[in-house]
Amino acid sequence: MSLRLLKFEIKNLLRDRMTFMLLAVPLLVGWLGKYLIENDTFNNPIASNMIIIALTLISGVMFGSMAGFSILDDRDDHVFVSIQISPLSIRYYVWMKVIFVYVLSVISSLIIFAMVGGMEMQWWQLILIALLNGFQAPTNAFLVNAFASNKVEGFVAMKATGFLMVFPIIAFLFVDWKEWIFAIAPAFWGAKALQTLLYAPLIEAGSIVMHLPFLGYLLIGFVYNLFLTAMMYNVFKRKYMQ
């Protein structure tokens, strides 16, 4: 059943031209980031680091939008009604779709990391950051469907979630108490974990003091994002899966 559902999702991706084009975005984003950093376009290390932060956040938002609108399409096409009279449960169907998009988001982040370069990080650190940033996909997908009853409302909700992506980029400018103002954004924790790696030489020299170490930001980030995903899923479930 899982394999057939996976094949169905892949066919949907290949059938929808716009969704299929989204799969090429990581390559384009990675190439753009590599070009900007290698050519020192902004002639400013802080600006270059902020570009890296921004590029690593794109995958979660992008694939979250894809999953969110895919579920909205299913609701509009009464797919949930059809599933109710089949051996497949709606819960299973939704989670398979969301997990599939989460995996795509993680892979996309790793591709962008590999293409951009310019970061002295070990492979396990890259994977952990990609796994954490990938949680934006299920969180955004459930958030959109929890509060949107149609595609117009879904678009508005998605713009709101996209706005939250600005928070961790701004937070990069602060390493004092002000950074916590932006901690409400799901992507804040992964961005700050990445910042500890980008600033590693300065931290070791004592020039900069971060509130938490790399693993500290990651641990809180995983807990916080799991909580948000569960909360948004429960709101969505109460409204559309009863």
Please give the structure tokens belonging to residue 68: 């969110």
pLDDT of residue 10: 61
Please give the structure tokens belonging to residue 121: 């990080």
More confident residue, 140 or 154: 140
Q: CA-CA distance, 226 to 228, in Å (whole number)? A: 5
Q: CA-CA distance, 98 to 89, in Å (whole number)? A: 14
* Tokens 């103002």 found at: 181
Q: CA-CA distance, 177 to 123, in Å (whole number)? A: 30
* Tens digits of residue pLDDT in 63-81: 777 777 777 777 777 777 6
* Tens digits of residue pLDDT in 96-152: 888 888 888 888 888 877 777 666 678 888 899 989 988 888 888 888 888 777 777
Q: CA-CA distance, 138 to 228, in Å (whole number)? A: 9
Whether residue 219 is predicted with pLDDT greater than 90 in this model: the reply is yes
The answer to whether 53 and 169 have CB atoms below 8 angstroms apart is: yes
Structure letter (DSSP) for residue 40: T
Crossing angle between the packed helical segments 136-147 and 45-76, to the nearest 10 degrees:
50
Q: Any idea where the domains of the chain sit in the sequence?
A: 2-240
Contacts 24+ apart (CB under 8 A), 162-165: 162/61, 162/65, 165/54, 165/57, 165/61
Beta strands in 112-161 (DSSP E): none
Rg of the chain over Cα atoms, rounded to whole angstroms, equals: 19
Region 209-236: mean pLDDT is: 91
Q: CA-CA distance, 96 to 86, in Å (whole number)? A: 16
Region 28-50: mean pLDDT is: 67
pTM for the whole structure: 0.82
Distances 90 to 13, 44, 82, 101, 158 between C-alpha atoms, Å: 20, 50, 9, 17, 23
Instruction: Annotate 167-177 with b (16+ C-beta within 10 A) or e (fewer).
Output: bbbbbbeebee
Contacts of 175 (CB under 8 A, 6+ apart): 208, 209, 210, 211
